[in-house]
């Protein structure tokens, strides 16, 4: 069902990164469910994690390890989120890291663990550890596509994005993969996303880069308003591209890198929404004329989370009254309803708080039948704008989430 | 599907109130869609309305009329919400009030209009005005049950509640009806609810009574988090019961009246959730151990609005990790996850942030299969508690809201 996704684009290798996958039977047999991303010594890393207070054990351990050393490997499993598992879950995550560290000859703190899947069940650490040699056996720098498959859960398609850009006379590559289809409302973080570049970047600049890009991409999507316990977005920089190190954000090199990273992040984030559980529509919500970005986002998310708006889009029903009702209850300090104007793509449906004189049901229906629709809300209160992406709410969303564990 | 509702209870007549209904073909033929509630001169009224900034035309007109006179009649139609209709909608509502006022011989400002149905379409004022004589022809004090049917939209059952209580040596009656099944998250207001009593009450005390009762009933339910543009809760007091006027809240008479009114409001509010669109479960969310009521409600609503929690309940799946994830992302200032304990009815599933040692999947499944389930969350941060009611998210919710206008 993934709206407008037609398979993985070409994913360029990133010098210094090798990926390996295995079938470890974490939850189901005959499924690629274990991924190792190996990076060369000296690789810098920046990451953002879920803001959910019930963060998963691997998030706790990854944060701890990030504070101690640069990573030599990422260890990712699906089938079990290792969340809500208390202290035993922490020990499970550490044991898996230690096992991988021993195999590749590094310190345990140089391995970052990531898990996704069912919450509240113990991690089957023996099966994961048993699967590690198979991952290492097929490590290769063209492993991105298989790794994209290896991190899927309810995703129907693998998700990847890749860019090449010039920095000075050098070519820099940015390649990434992501997973996620439900429990999607990243909050200063993302679903699992792993992106690497061979750019030479200092740690502080890399962290700025990842946070800036995340704010315009993964932090601007919502499927169901549920923030996962396991969200993580990781940007690795191997530093093998050969250019002078990017050590400040006021530079053309940084601007170029940020643009590529943001493009990759945005393509991955939008791919998550396009593949949202049960999605039949890809919806962009743009709110302009706000006093603050917070106001614009509050209005946008109120629309994007309204089950009534989402089911109307599923039904291709131009029931714009539901959008108007959502705007009207958005938690912002002031709203002059007489200044609100709403477009669906190019079609004006509400002008200054009332139905547009030229609007007809037939025109509305023609827009609502499209697979990709932009809702534009002009508040008439200021000059700030914000944009997010979401999906509709279909029978299949309920079916998938009612059946997820069965 | 209404969970645990087996038909209207006995609805006692309220002295001074007569109700009449008609089929006016507002949107569909052969459907009771027009209701007149007539009250004797001197009837006091208190009301709360939607906080949605895009309030409907009848809400604007009703507020205006409330400021000018005591009501002689309420005029209610289904099939068209008369919302998002701008100034013409206001004129439509006024014209209908004027027509009814002329027929019963009162001032236009003594008629309060209420509408519910599709947003964004003009009110068919001619058909409503044409239906008024039929309403007046069958006005009678036993008309509550027919009026309860007359205000239904996607409701599958009519909703009513009635109580008798003693004030001094006098018997006082409180009887009410309500409608609502979707677009339910009343915010300092309610879906349409019309309640009357023959108690003798001064206006200020009556307003205090309605707001106190609303806060414990209609403002504690949610189906889909969507606040309607037309919500209204009206409490009429005809003053015919013969007791001394209740003119202050520090009196046994007020306490008795408030208890009866709150019971009626709560029964109506819960009936709305039990009949929520597609509902198969009636869910009580109780959050205790909070620092403030706002914190408790924030946690409760985050759980109640989570599509993942709601679909798990639909599936009778004891996927408590979704409840835990919702608690973890609730917008409260501080949360110590190590102190959080969660029960489903009597079953402890999470104790101090981790799975309870005695919990088993089989025990969880046994509770989740029940039609009425209580989620208890103890935050361990303070001594305040709050309780709300909600429903699950089923295939039928999507079907009903995708098909609503077709």
Partner-chain residue, chosen from A224, A317, A329, that has the shortest CB–CB distance to B52? A329
Cβ–Cβ under 8 Å, residues B159 and B167: no
B362 versus A7: the higher-pLDDT residue is: B362
Calpha distance B393→A399 (Å, rounded)? 10
Q: Does A83 touch chain B (CB under 8 A)?
A: yes
Contact between B226 and A317 using a beta-carbon 8 Å cutoff: no
Contact between B225 and A307 using a beta-carbon 8 Å cutoff: yes
Determine the pLDDT at residue A404. 62
Q: Does A328 touch chain B (CB under 8 A)?
A: yes
Return the CATH class of domain B17-274.
alpha beta
Residue A188 confidence (pLDDT) above 60:
no
Alpha helices, DSSP H, located in A275-405: 293-305, 307-314, 320-329, 361-368, 395-403
Calpha distance A298→A76 (Å, rounded)? 34
The CATH-assigned architecture of domain A17-273 is: 4-Layer Sandwich (3.60)
DSSP 8-state assignment for residue B301:
H
**CA dihedral for B341, B344, B348, B350, sign (positive or negative):** negative
Residue B209 confidence (pLDDT) above 80:
yes
Q: How many other C-beta atoms can be found within 10 angstroms of the C-beta atom of residue A357?
A: 7
Determine the pLDDT at residue A187. 56
A90 versus A406: the higher-pLDDT residue is: A90
Checking ipTM against 0.85, whether it exceeds it is no
Determine the pLDDT at residue A398. 86
Cβ–Cβ under 8 Å, residues A192 and A83: no
What is the pTM assigned to this prediction? 0.80
DSSP characters over B259-274: HHHHHHHHHHHHHHHH
User: Mean pLDDT in chain B?
Assistant: 90
A249 versus A76: the higher-pLDDT residue is: A76
From A116, A165, A190, A390, active-site residue: A190
Calpha distance A166→A186 (Å, rounded)? 31
Partner-chain residue, chosen from A183, A228, A394, that has the shortest CB–CB distance to B398? A394
* Confidence band, pLDDT 50/70/90 cuts, at residue B29: very high
A336 versus B231: the higher-pLDDT residue is: A336
Q: What are phi and psi of A380, to 5 degrees?
A: 70, 25
Contact between B329 and A398 using a beta-carbon 8 Å cutoff: no
Which residues, 6+ apart, have CB-to-CB distance to A382 below 8 Å?
A289, A290, A291, A292, A295
Mean pLDDT on A27-47: 93
Calpha distance B144→B195 (Å, rounded)? 10
* Confidence band, pLDDT 50/70/90 cuts, at residue A266: confident
Write out residues 383-402 of B within 8 Å (CB-CB) of A. Answer: 393-395, 397-399, 401-402
Q: Where are the domains of chain A?
A: 17-273, 282-403
Tokens for B301, please give them.
Answer: 């609503």
B304 versus A55: the higher-pLDDT residue is: B304
- A255 alpha carbon, distance to own chain's centre: 22
Residue A223 confidence (pLDDT) above 90:
no
Contact between A120 and B85 using a beta-carbon 8 Å cutoff: no
Mean pLDDT on A5-31: 93
- Give B317→chain A minimum CA distance, Å: 8
Determine the pLDDT at residue B188. 47
Cβ–Cβ under 8 Å, residues B14 and B198: yes
Determine the pLDDT at residue A51. 79
Determine the pLDDT at residue A10. 93
CATH topology of domain B282-403: Ubiquitin-like (UB roll) (3.10.20)
b/e burial code for range B7-36 (CB count within 10 A of at least 16 → b): ebbebbbbbbbbbbbbebbbbeeebbbbbb
A238 to each of A264, A336, B287, how far by Cα in Å? 17, 51, 48
Residue B187 confidence (pLDDT) above 80:
no
Q: Does B303 touch chain A (CB under 8 A)?
A: no
* Confidence band, pLDDT 50/70/90 cuts, at residue B14: very high
């Amino acid at each position: 069902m993934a709206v407008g996704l037609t398979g993985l684009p070409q994913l360029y290798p990133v010098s210094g990164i090798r990926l390996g996958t295995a079938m470890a039977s974490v939850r189901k047999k005959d499924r690629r469910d274990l991924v190792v991303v190996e990076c060369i010594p000296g690789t810098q890393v920046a990451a953002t994690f879920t803001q959910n207070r019930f963060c998963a054990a691997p998030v706790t351990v990854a944060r701890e390890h990030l504070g101690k050393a640069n990573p030599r490997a990422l260890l990712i499993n699906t089938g079990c989120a290792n969340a809500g598992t208390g202290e035993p879950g922490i020990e499970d995550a550490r044991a898996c890291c230690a096992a991988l560290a021993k195999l590749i000859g590094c310190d345990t703190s140089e391995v970052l663990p990531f898990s996704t899947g069912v919450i509240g069940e113990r991690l089957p650490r023996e099966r994961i550890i048993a699967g590690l040699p198979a991952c290492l056996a097929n490590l290769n720098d063209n492993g991105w596509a298989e790794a994209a498959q290896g991190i899927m859960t309810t995703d129907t398609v693998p998700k990847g994005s890749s860019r090449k850009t010039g920095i000075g006379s050098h070519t820099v590559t940015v390649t990434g993969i992501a997973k996620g289809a439900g429990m999607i409302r990243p909050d200063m973080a993302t679903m699992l996303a792993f992106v690497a570049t061979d750019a030479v970047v200092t740690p502080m600049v890399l962290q700025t880069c990842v946070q800036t890009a995340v704010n315009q991409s993964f932090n601007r999507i919502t499927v169901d308003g549920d923030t996962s316990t396991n969200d993580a977005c990781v940007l690795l920089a191997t530093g093998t591209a050969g250019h002078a190190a990017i050590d400040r954000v006021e530079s053309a090199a940084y601007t170029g890198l940020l643009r590529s990273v943001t493009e990759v992040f945005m393509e991955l984030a939008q791919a998550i929404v396009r593949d949202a559980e049960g999605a039949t529509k890809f919806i962009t919500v743009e709110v302009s004329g706000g006093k603050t970005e917070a106001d614009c986002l509050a209005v946008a998310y109120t629309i994007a989370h309204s089950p009534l708006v989402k089911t109307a889009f599923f039904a291709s029903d131009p029931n714009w009254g539901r959008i108007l009702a959502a705007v009207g209850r958005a938690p912002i300090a002031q709203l002059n309803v007489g200044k609100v104007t709403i477009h669906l793509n190019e079609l004006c449906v509400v002008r200054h708080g009332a139905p547009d004189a030229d609007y007809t049901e037939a025109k509305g229906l023609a827009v609502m039948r499209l697979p990709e629709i932009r809702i534009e809300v002009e508040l008439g209160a200021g000059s700030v704008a914000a944009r997010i992406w979401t999906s509709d709410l279909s029978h299949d969303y309920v079916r998938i989430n009612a059946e997820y564990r069965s």
